[in-house]
Amino acid sequence: MLAQASATALITISLFMLPVSSPAQESMELTALDYIEIQQLVAKYARAIDTCSNNGYDYADLYTLDGVFQPMVSGRSIPGVQGRERLAEVSGGGSNECRNVPWIEQGVRHIYSNHIITPTPDGATGTVDMMMIGLDGDPNKIAHDGYYEDVYLKTENGWRFKQRTHYALLVAGQPAEPAAGAASSGGEP
């Protein structure tokens, strides 16, 4: 009887000594306004990239101060772009002064659809398909150019991109070639 009581006590003590897992960090609760503001962030992105407004700085200011644009072409990561000046340049502005921007010269307009926003503990993530209309100067030509995976962060200036990864299917309006070893100059933002 004593052996049985000792075994029961040992099992009970052992159970109390097991590590207790902490509950997973809960996702932020997004309001209807948060969803609308994140959708507006993506819409502003399209307008800024299509027009090179404010010499590309309207585009750059859609990111957090440490935000990153990360192109992926043919499954290969191209060096990311970070910092206000570099982001303005990748959109055609900054030191480029909005000159010789291929998609603007062609009259391309970016269209984002199927936007899915998911709350996270720190803000939200999202995926959105990208299409371009007006390739090669043809206002009726539409092409699907992959999708974006986004990390959104709410700042004192509103929602911003912490990271925007573009999984590109096109490079300069043409189908991306499978990775062969030579580095690409990067996907269109």
Residue 10: pLDDT above 80? no
Query: Residue written as tokens 């055609």?
Result: 92
Per-residue pLDDT of 63-110, as tens digits, reads: 999 999 999 988 888 899 999 999 999 999 999 999 999 999 989 999
- Report the percent of the chain where pLDDT is more than 70: 77
E strands, the chain, are 63-73, 76-77, 81-82, 109-119, 124-133, 142-155, 158-168, 170-171, 174-175
Please, which residues bridge with residue 151 across strands?
125, 163
Domain 29-172 fold is Nuclear Transport Factor 2; Chain: A, (3.10.450)
Output 171 or 130, whichever has higher pLDDT: 130
pLDDT tens string 33-63? 999 999 999 999 999 999 999 999 999 999 9
Share of the chain above pLDDT 90, in %: 66
> What is the pTM assigned to this prediction?
0.78
